A and B are shown apart, each in its own frame.
Chain A
Amino acid sequence: MRDSKGKGAKESGYSRRRFLQGVGVAGVGALVAEHPLLRAAEAPSPLPDATDRAISGNIEIVLTINGQPRKVTVEPRTTLLNALRNNMDPPITGPKLVCDMGTCGGCTVLLDDKPVYGCLQLAIDVVGKKITTVEGIGTPERLSPVQAAFGEHDAMMCGFCTDGFVTSITGLLKANPNPTEQEVREACKGNFCRCGTYPRIFQAALEAAKAR
């Protein structure tokens, strides 16, 4: 991959990092031009390679997570999921890394109240958006109705998918407070549970809708 100015690929070869840098410029040029980072006067550090508008290296950004502004240093290719899990201190580990390619829903977060896969969002793309993780939905001491219903109906076993399901259903109930079971199934069709707790997840979602 070579960018419009012939930079981006080194003679020594080809790496995913370079590839993504290239995509960042050539593939998503429009996005970069309008990127909030480029507009933000308060951007904490200048962008590397600003002359040809390629974004690479480390950038410090501020994400709004569960109502709190959080500074985090990322690369352009860093996904929101990895930013939450790896690049923050303390890390936010409710969203789970399971497939890293948008197939399983284990990393579901709410972006402006809508469920999205954290592994399919670049961290730099969600600056200025309202990010809610499962930690922001409730706490062990103050469970949300969805979380409480999951417990009551045993809608989890190993629990690794649970954060994603809780988040997806929370997003569903924000948009549709009284879903049918079919609507619950549709809303969660992007989430996998390998232990096989689906029937109880459906029950818990319907119960939570009633409790709200």
Chain B
Amino acid sequence: MAATKPSTATKPAAPAPLTWGPTGKHRLLNTRLPRVDFPYKTTGTAIYSHDVKVPGMLHGRILRSPYAHAKITSLDLSPAQKIPGVKAVVARVNAGATLRFEGDPIAAVAATTPEIADDAIHAIDVKYDVLPHAVTAEDAIKPDASPVFPNDQSVENNIRHANERGDADSVADALKSADVVVEAEYRTPTLHHCCLETHVVVVDYNGGDSATVYCSNQGTFSFPGDAAKALGLKRSNVTGVVHHMGGGFGSKMGIGIEGRLACELSKQLRAPVKIALERRDEFLMAGNGPGSWQKFRAGATRDGKLAAVHVEQYGLGGIGRGGLADQPYLYHAGVVYRTGGAIHTNEDSARPLRAPGHPPACFAMESLMDELAYKLGMDPVEFRKKNLTDDAHLRQLDRGAKEIGWIRRSGTPGATPGPLKRGFGCACGDWNGGGGPQCVVDLKIAQDGAVNVSSGSQDLGTGTRTYMVAIVAEELGLAMSDVKEEIGDTRLGNANLSGGSTTAGSLSPAVKVAALDAKSEIARLVAPLLGAKPEDLVFADRKVSANGKSLTWAQACAALPSGGIAVRGQWKPGLSSGGAHGACFAEVEVDTETGHVQVIRILDVQDCGFPLNRLAVESQINGGMVQGIGMALLEGRVMDAKLGVMVNSSFMDYKMPGCLEMPEEMLPLIDDDDPRQQVVGVGEPPSIPPAAAIANAVFNACGVRVRQLPITPDKILMGLAEKGALS
């Protein structure tokens, strides 16, 4: 019937969109909230998957390929099986199989102790026919290189070409008429997630028709299906648990090979098996952030406009692809021609790493913009502002420049007298993020006033638990300590996996909806006691009040049914949004005698819509800057091209930022001029621009443009030598 009428006439008035309420009026949200699980995380009582110990649990270990490319000619598990304490040995591959990278898993064992499991791995007898390999992009694209995917028609000379975009001829023409042209190649190495908790799975299965799987994972619901398949159980009979997890950064989604092997061992033994990757395993077979090789020809006109960009972008993802954000990244250019793809090598597959594809694209483009600005003789901030497309970045560049004291910067690189040279740099980044209808939140309020909010979601260290509690406490007028939370269990409501900075944007609206519904329900039951209408009740200070009368929270809840009330919240639009923008500024000091670079001061201006917890958002921004320092100055996988193996597969040799690399000052700045009153997740965005900002500051300090990360002292000294500036 309705369909026959004009839709405009019958449409009911749209309900008022949900909001987080007026800015500045919140008691808990948008303030600085200590995380609710800190008493556990600081006392060793937070239980991570690594810490799970179930009765009869055996310890697993994985045997990995020592070669980048080899064929197994024979595989004898029996020496391992004979060791006392070894309970099971399973092969992942058989004789005849080809191993495609150092670390490619071959077999797994389960034993009564990790030490015995280690013995067993060493006892397995494998014979190999070692094959030619390519573990660097340069080697991989040589005409006589060994093919990584010999049977894949879409790979040519180890290059998997992406579609071309734009017209190369019109770019060539535009470059001819540009006032300045920069031709440059930028390279970033393969990075490692280096989660302090390595990938770990505990399969609690003792035979029978059900199992519980504890896994350090970014998605509680992302692994039980695979576990069920491997165990031969019904999906609904496998419970997934992720109570606390020690970092993911993109590397922990799904069950993984280690998880499947643990399930296989557990199934065979009808006993619980734990496989925790060793640190070296983690480097070799648990993913990495892909390297990049980006070649530009770009031109700008004297008025500061980016006129033309010709770019070849290659992701270096090993046997994976390693996607990159499309150039010219945030900038508008007159004409653009883009080509590239992936260059395959005999290395483990890349996985997403915090803002996948963005930090390498940002480093290249923001370095290029800097080079063009210097060639034009234009302030790099002004040059950027002429070519950016989003007002948020313009605002953030102004704020960042003011906060860092950009005015102190000399336009002449290396202008500081003496060997210690200071310089300033900046860069911008963006990320989509957002949220959607994926989370189910249960909120229960008992007759004695106990409040419990739950969802199967997970807390990677992002503060999920804390904002769940804060949203409920804010709405019901309670203290944080009045609300208990429960997460990380597939017996709870569905939730999306934490990837792409989408958890807060998907989960927080569902919590808010649940809290609003619970509040309405309580108001309906309590209003008669106060002689008021439900909509007139005020929830504040642990009381429910109306007409000058009030009930304590406990008195109010006494009006609930004996079983309390339970409501279920799901995502609704209006409370979250995508689109995060940031700008980073760095001040560095380069020692031109040693080549050492120290970041002195760094700041990241980051918008996040409505900040649920300012303390947690600032911690995310700090984290992004710290990882950016690592990417800029320290980190990178180093391969031995001849032997085909990684030479720095430990924390001794793979350098991460530590206490001594920290700047004198770090400023995590929330962009409160963001007019959006919606939650925008910022797990990833703050990690995008810092490396580029630091690289640009290094150039401003000493006049050396390092186009290949990390900026190690040798590259600075070589650069100074080439300029004839080595003292």
Contacts and interface: CB of A to CB of B under 8 A. Distances in A.
Interface stretch (B315-323, B534-542, B582-590, B620-628): B620-628
B619 A154 contact: yes
Interface stretch (A1-9, A25-33, A42-50, A195-203): A195-203
B466 to A, nearest CB: 10
B176 interface: no
Interface string B387-428: 000000000000000000000000000000000000000000
B44 A197 contact: no
B279 A101 contact: yes
Interface residues of B, number: 66
Contacts of A95: 44
B145 to A, nearest CB: 34
Given A97-B276, A135-B44, A154 B656 contact: no
A45 B674 CA distance: 69
A94 B48 contact: no
Given A82-B115, A100-B278, A101-B652, A93 B51 contact: yes
A15 B118 CA distance: 9
A182 B198 CA distance: 30
A159 B615 CA distance: 15
B14 to A, nearest CB: 39
A194 interface: yes
B619 A17 contact: no
B279 A196 contact: no
Given A15-B122, A100-B278, A192-B658, A93 B43 contact: no
A16 B44 contact: no
B651 A192 contact: yes
Nearest to B459: A158
A135 B44 CA distance: 6
B492 interface: no
Interface string A75-91: 10110001001110011
B246 A159 contact: yes
A143 B39 contact: yes
A198 B665 CA distance: 11
B53 interface: yes
A90 B59 CA distance: 17
B660 interface: yes
A189 interface: yes
A99 B197 CA distance: 9
Given A159-B246, A160-B48, A189-B659, A103 B650 contact: yes
A195 B461 contact: yes
Interface string B34-78: 110111111111111011010000010000000000000000000
B38 A151 contact: yes
Contact of A99 (B46, B123, B247, B651): B651
A161 B622 CA distance: 16
Given A82-B114, A140-B43, A196 B38 contact: no
A15 B245 CA distance: 33
A189 B660 contact: yes
- Of A17, A85, A140, A150, chain B has the most CB atoms within 10 Å of the CB of A140
Contacts of A16: 118-119, 122
B365 to A, nearest CB: 24
Contacts of A139: 43, 45
B59 A86 contact: yes
Given A133-B44, A151-B38, A198 B278 contact: no
Contact of A160 (B40, B53, B246, B623): B246
Contacts of A163: 42-44
B37 to A, nearest CB: 7
A96 B39 contact: no
Contacts of A147: 39, 42-43
A16 B122 CA distance: 8
Given A154-B619, A192-B651, A195-B623, A160 B196 contact: yes
A144 to B, nearest CB: 8
B652 A166 contact: no
A93 B196 CA distance: 14
A146 B38 CA distance: 12
A88 to B, nearest CB: 10
A157 B42 contact: no
A209 interface: no
Nearest to B57: A86
A159 B660 contact: no
Contacts of A104: 196, 651
Nearest to B687: A196
B231 interface: no
A23 interface: no
Interface string B604-645: 000000000001101110111111000000000000000000
B249 interface: yes
B624 A196 contact: yes
- Of A86, A106, A146, A184, chain B has the most CB atoms within 10 Å of the CB of A86
Contacts of B463: 157
Nearest to B624: A196
A200 B619 contact: yes
Contacts of A192: 194, 196, 651, 656, 658
29 contacts: A86-B114, A90-B53, A96-B48, A98-B196, A98-B197, A99-B279, A101-B651, A103-B651, A133-B44, A134-B43, A134-B44, A135-B45, A141-B39, A150-B42, A151-B34, A154-B616, A157-B461, A158-B195, A162-B42, A184-B659, A186-B660, A192-B196, A194-B193, A195-B247, A195-B461, A198-B626, A199-B622, A199-B662, A200-B619
Closest 9 CB pairs of A and B: A94-B44, A196-B626, A160-B246, A158-B461, A157-B461, A159-B41, A196-B623, A151-B38, A93-B51
Given A17-B119, A99-B279, A194-B195, 14 more contacts: A15-B123, A85-B51, A90-B53, A93-B48, A95-B44, A103-B650, A138-B43, A150-B42, A154-B32, A154-B35, A160-B196, A162-B42, A163-B42, A195-B626
